[in-house]
Amino acid sequence: MKLFNKVLLLVLISTITSCSKSKVFTESDIHIIPKPAELNVKKGFFEFTTNTQIVVTNDFQQKIANQFSEKMNSAAGFNLQIVAQAPNDNFIHFFTNSQLTNEAYELSVTSNSITISASGNVGFMYGLETLKQLLPTAIESSTIVINQHWIVPNVDVKDQPRFKWRGLHLDVARHFFQKDYIKQTIDRLAMHKMNVLHLHLVDDQGWRIEIKKYPKLTEVGAFRLDQEDAHWDGRRVTTAEDKATFGGFYTQEDIKEIVAYATAKGVEVVPEIEMPAHVMSAIASYPELSCFENPIGVPSGGVWPITEIYCAGKESTFNFLEDVLLEVMELFPSKYIHVGGDEATKTNWAKCPHCLKRMKDHGLTDVNELQSYFMKRIERFIVSHDRKLIGWDEIIEGGLAPEATVMSWRGFKGGIEAAEQGHDVVMAPGDYCYLNHFQGPPNEEPLAQDGFVPLHKVYQFDPIVKGMTKKEAAHVLGGQACLWSEFISTTAHSEYMLFPRLAALSETLWSPKKAQDWNDFSVRLASLFERYDYLGINYSKSAFLITEDVKINIDTKETEIHLKNEFENSDIRYVLGDAPISESAIKYENPIKFTETTTLKASLFKDDKPIGKTFEKTITFHKGVGKSITFKEPYHDNYQGEGEFGLINTLRGTKNFHDGHWQAWLGNDMEAIIDMGSETAIQNVIIGTMENQGPGIYFPTDVTVYVSNDGINYKEVGKEERAYAKNPAFDLKDFKITFQKESVRYIKIVATNLKTTPSGGDVWLFIDEILIN
């Protein structure tokens, strides 16, 4: 049977080969991401067969050749022989060119052979990655793919990265991710020619690395009370007595394995050991590290402000940190050691006798200068061990340490300031690089942090800021994506947030600026998605989702809807009412206008067939649209929606409470009176609300409707109640109050605010629309 299968496979290969002889490639057939610096397509192609050989001259080449051969064997059934001497034809070989820079490579494909040239291991590896992207996407298959032409176009590629730092920050402190997922992520970084994995190993909510001199850091600091059933920012304060079972950590053997694995893939692992803040997990383990030594528990969720920080006045604090850093540097050979330095609320320092003495002894005028002293002292220690300190842009405050590198996350400002001072910079501005933010319509997305960073926004990122001098730009090492994990607890969710935005970032950091083109990238992305499918990556397709921009003219009571997705020239078609989405749907070309209640359905089309998720929206022209509305307590200045008619204009809000469609009350009930102008028959009232307990937004505890014809005497006609319940998600809810039909002029709606959060804070009440029917 095995012999029969082999014969069948050879027959198929022979058939495919004869069909492939007529194939002519053009540049439009080549979908490499990130795009190479130079690429020239020539006539003809190289064909892989069972006779193809790989010529190697050292152990590293042998290793990557084995990996490539295994992939080819899995997908095509070709067990490529690896040899030391080149045959006459049909072979791949590696050529060492010492003139090329470290990560640069050249790839030359002819019908006879494939040559990958580089000065070292990383260049050879990147050349092989590009060769894989010249092959059919099925090369990523784990099972044999039949009816496939295993050919690559004859090309000449000359390629090298634009920036030396092309990174991903992975937060494993807020939620712990197992070693195997870290290694899988390293594989995917290498696939995208990215070369830095910044591991966020320490934060308030978990200490994730074994330190042998301080075992409590993982015995205590790596675990917390399980409150995963509550919103991250709505969890109760833990105590030292709470039973902590949720968490995990990497042993030093785990770390060695991760680092060795990454090194073989050309990825430098940069550890982040936070200080002086984001260290409550360490203080829970060793309370004496804080100013006042109060026992605390490892927090289960968000903490703000962060006041429990390392004491900068005690020598024992620095002894501890130096001991920790010594073990860390022994495990991580990286040039850089990240020390955090962000979001330290220094109120304890201002009243701590140890800190006050330190300030007096060193002539420091305020706590910002004390933080600068802290960072400069740590930097001296790190530099004395031939490493470089890097920290978030707050390390600028009070004065930068002499050789410090700044990672700019609060926009570009900190990076620009550091470069002006002659310091190296890694740009990671949240508006472009924070992949924990929403990437698609919030109503369609999994839980994410507030903010909107869609795929095309990531592609717009450029670490070199307009106006920088050449000298300042030379200090920009590159850029980095950041994935914080407060709301991300599974590998599937993590993958969804990373891909394909990481692909967009890889191109902005690798490819020459002049080669970057969003429309061209969009075309090449389709092939990358096929590769993701073969690899089982849970990537997001949010960029294809149809979104709307809705406007209303209150005077004419006409609503206008604009439809789009992230790609230009998308074939979007729509239908109205109950009509099904089909190839006869109306092609969207201009904004759609409505003057009466209508359901709109739209879909992206490919080859005259609907693909992806159907967009559906009902515009409800209820009886209250454009009527007079007054409030007992005005809505908050920060959340005014569309203003005067914001709750009676047909426009509904999304789960993004910054979308401009929500009006909000802080600590107060919402009481509104709508004047219908004349007696009007009504029988239900609907109130649109939101709950996002993290920032203190809660559903009302009840909504009551009253009616009147004189505006003075009101009677209650209905009420809907909802008791408080813990809710870790973002949710929208319509409160619907139905009653016997009445003819009334005035309608009073009272939504009762919860008043106080479980932790004692003020409560926000958000409302997007009041519908009168």
Which residues are marked as active site? 203, 278, 343
Count other Cβ atoms within 10 Å, centred on residue 334: 23
Residue tagged 């803040």 (tokens): 277
d(CA 619, CA 565): 20
Residues 6+ apart with CB under 8 A from 730: 442, 447, 655, 690, 691, 692
617: β partners: 600
- DSSP 8-state secondary structure symbol assigned to residue 637: T
Cα 140 to chain centroid, rounded: 24
| Cα separation values, 441 from 297, 375, 446, Å | 37, 41, 10
Helix 121-134 and helix 179-191: axis angle, to 10°? Answer: 80
Residue type at position 417: E
Cα 255 to chain centroid, rounded: 24
| Cα separation values, 375 from 341, 389, 394, 400, 547, Å | 8, 9, 11, 8, 46
Q: What is the DSSP string of 475-493?
A: TEEEEEEEE--TT--SHHH
Q: Rg of the chain over CA atoms, in angstroms?
A: 30
691: β partners: 731
Cα 454 to chain centroid, rounded: 9
Sign of CA dihedral 121, 126, 132, 137: positive
Count other Cβ atoms within 10 Å, centred on residue 745: 16
d(CA 498, CA 492): 10
d(CA 273, CA 452): 28
| Cα separation values, 404 from 1, 166, 366, Å | 66, 19, 21
d(CA 731, CA 726): 12
Q: Is residue 184 within 8 Å of residue 177, measured between CB atoms? A: no
Sign of CA dihedral 89, 93, 99, 102: positive
Q: Is residue 654 within 8 Å of residue 442, measured between CB atoms? A: yes
Q: Is 513 helix (H, G, I), strand (E, B) or coil?
A: helix
d(CA 711, CA 729): 39
d(CA 502, CA 268): 17
Token pair of 89 as six digits: 């034809």
Sign of CA dihedral 635, 638, 643, 648: negative
Helix segments in 146-297, DSSP class H = 179-191, 216-219, 252-264, 280-285
Count other Cβ atoms within 10 Å, centred on residue 716: 13
Residue tagged 């290498």 (tokens): 190
